[in-house]
């Protein structure tokens, strides 16, 4: 279906992530970005004009008219499953932003359709394409750390996203912590039990939305190892996402937010530059993620992060939310889907 070794791609949703994906796609070898879609017509037209592609206000029409090989879905989470299904029915491969969905049984049904349609589905956990995290994964796989005893990961935003985004996000576990649950599974293995502590500390808006702005989740892995995932929407100083893995032979730390390597020493003060947001922190990971997806579309391999990974991360979110609500540690198996 792909033509001449390049992928005809469309991007659905042109907010913070979709615009980034569209610009990356336009600059990616082996990708022909042909169209973008967003119900906000002015936004669709402006991004389309910038990148020299067709504008649509409906993904349905874009997929129907543009003979796409692949689609990037960067819309709010409640729209992900219908758009993945729309693409699957037309034999169009999908790179879908996280979370795949908030609804486990519905996601499982969509994955069955994806399987039957034979399309490739990659989930947008771009952290797996961060160069430092990939090096860490290789070191663990090569046995350099020995057995892993502890995993710690952080995710901190300087300021929260807008209210509309928060309202559709499914809450902080599904929107933020999910990245770290996926990293934990990838680097250390399956998670069997979680215990969450979460709070609203910055703004009653989170309470109003039934959400939280700070959360810590303790993990127990199938291997017996322990983990801690810590997240904050309101860190103020900038963006940070780092990891520490403690193993029997070595411990590795990936600092998560420092920008550049220059320290400035002034009388009474040493300073260094810090990343401002996730787009800066994971700037190089997004094109690598897209490139990995293109490899799968053009070749025989399966996506590094498939639908089953998307569903597994969702299950951990559901257990983390249940633990927060009940005040009890919760087994992931108790989620029931
Ligand atoms: N991987 C990451 O680092 C990362 C970071 C932020 C957000 N995300 C995810 O990306 C997705 C989008 O987040 P965002 O921050 O770009 O949101 P956003 O609110 O900035 O943008 C969403 C866009 O989707 C459009 N849209 C809504 N319904 C649509 C539909 N049916 N068809 C086409 N377009 C539609 C909206 O008009 C808007 O322009 C979410 O799933 C979010 O969780 C991922």
User: What is the full DSSP assignment across 149-192?
Assistant: EEEEEEEE-SSPPPHHHHHHTT-HIIIIIHHHHHHHHHHT--EE
3-state secondary structure at position 58: coil
Q: pTM of the entire structure?
A: 0.97
Nearest-angstrom CA–CA distance, 216 and 277: 20
For 159, 167, 213, the CA distances from 202, given in Å and listed in that order, are 10, 17, 7
Is the pLDDT at 4 greater than 80? The verdict is no
Is the pLDDT at 170 greater than 80? The verdict is yes
Taking the CB of residue 267, how many other CB atoms lie within 10 A of it?
4
Ligand 1 mean position, distance from CA 61 (Å): 19
- CA-nearest residue for atom 15, ligand 1, is 16
Mean per-residue pLDDT for 163-182? 97
Ligand 1 mean position, distance from CA 296 (Å): 23
Nearest-angstrom CA–CA distance, 303 and 294: 9
Question: 309 near 185, Cβ under 8 Å?
Answer: yes
Is the pLDDT at 2 greater than 80? The verdict is no
Whether 79 is in the pocket of ligand 1, judged by its Cβ within 6 Å, is yes
Q: pLDDT tens digit string along 15-57?
A: 999 999 999 999 999 999 999 999 999 999 999 999 999 999 9
Which of 75, 100, 292, 293 maximizes ligand 1 atoms within 8 Å of its Cβ, making it the mutation to test the pocket? 75
pLDDT of residue 75: 98
Ligand 1 mean position, distance from CA 75 (Å): 4
Structure-block tokens of residue 282: 């994971």
pLDDT of residue 124: 98
pLDDT of residue 3: 58
Mean per-residue pLDDT for 144-148? 98
pLDDT of residue 261: 86
Mean per-residue pLDDT for 211-234? 98
Whether 165 is in the pocket of ligand 1, judged by its Cβ within 6 Å, is yes
pLDDT of residue 1: 52
Mean per-residue pLDDT for 238-244? 97
Q: pLDDT tens digit string along 72-96?
A: 999 999 999 999 999 999 999 999 9
Taking the CB of residue 249, how many other CB atoms lie within 10 A of it?
9
User: For residue 316, which of 197, 196, 212, 198 has the smallest C-alpha distance?
Assistant: 196
Nearest-angstrom CA–CA distance, 180 and 188: 12
Structure-block tokens of residue 216: 């810590």
Q: pLDDT tens digit string along 260-273?
A: 889 999 999 999 99
Nearest-angstrom CA–CA distance, 20 and 277: 13
Whether 242 is in the pocket of ligand 1, judged by its Cβ within 6 Å, is no
pLDDT of residue 215: 98
- CA-nearest residue for atom 40, ligand 1, is 76
Whether 130 is in the pocket of ligand 1, judged by its Cβ within 6 Å, is no
Cβ within 8 Å of residue 70, ≥6 positions away = 7, 8, 9, 10, 92, 93, 94, 95, 293, 294, 297
Q: pLDDT tens digit string along 128-143?
A: 999 999 999 999 999 9
Nearest-angstrom CA–CA distance, 173 and 325: 12
Ligand 1 mean position, distance from CA 98 (Å): 10
User: Mean pLDDT in the chain?
Assistant: 97
């Amino acid at each position: 279906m792909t033509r001449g070794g390049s992928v005809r791609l469309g991007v659905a949703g042109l907010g913070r992530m979709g615009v980034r994906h569209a610009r990356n796609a336009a600059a990616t070898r082996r990708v022909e970005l042909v169209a973008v879609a967003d119900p906000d017509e002015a936004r669709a037209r402006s991004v389309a004009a910038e990148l020299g592609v067709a504008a649509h206000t409906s993904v349905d029409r874009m997929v129907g008219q543009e003979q796409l090989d692949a689609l990037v879905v960067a819309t709010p989470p409640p729209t992900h499953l219908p758009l993945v299904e729309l693409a699957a029915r037309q034999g169009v491969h999908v790179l879908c932003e996280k979370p795949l969905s908030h609804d486990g049984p519905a996601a499982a049904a969509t994955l069955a359709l994806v399987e039957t349609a034979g399309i490739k589905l990659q989930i947008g956990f771009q952290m797996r394409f961060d160069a430092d995290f990939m090096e860490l994964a290789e070191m663990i796989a090569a046995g350099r750390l020995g057995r892993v005893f502890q995993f710690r990961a952080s995710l901190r935003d300087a300021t929260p996203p807008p209210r509309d985004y928060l309202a559709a996000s499914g809450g902080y576990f599904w929107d933020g912590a999910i990245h770290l649950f996926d990293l934990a599974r990838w680097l250390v293995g399956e998670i069997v039990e979680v215990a969450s502590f979460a709070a609203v500390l910055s703004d009653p808006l989170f309470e109003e939305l039934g959400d939280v702005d700070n959360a810590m989740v303790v993990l127990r892995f199938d291997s017996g190892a322990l983990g801690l995932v810590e997240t904050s929407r309101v860190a103020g100083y900038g963006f940070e996402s780092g990891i520490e893995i403690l193993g029997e032979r070595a411990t590795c730390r990936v600092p998560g937010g420092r920008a550049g390597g220059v320290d400035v020493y002034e009388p009474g003060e040493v300073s260094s530059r810090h990343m401002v947001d996730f787009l800066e922190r994971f700037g190089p990971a997004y094109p690598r993620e897209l490139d990995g997806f293109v490899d799968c579309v053009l070749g025989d391999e399966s996506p590094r992060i498939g639908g089953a990974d998307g569903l597994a991360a969702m299950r951990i979110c559901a257990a983390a939310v249940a633990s927060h609500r009940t005040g009890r540690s919760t087994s992931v198996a108790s989620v029931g889907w």
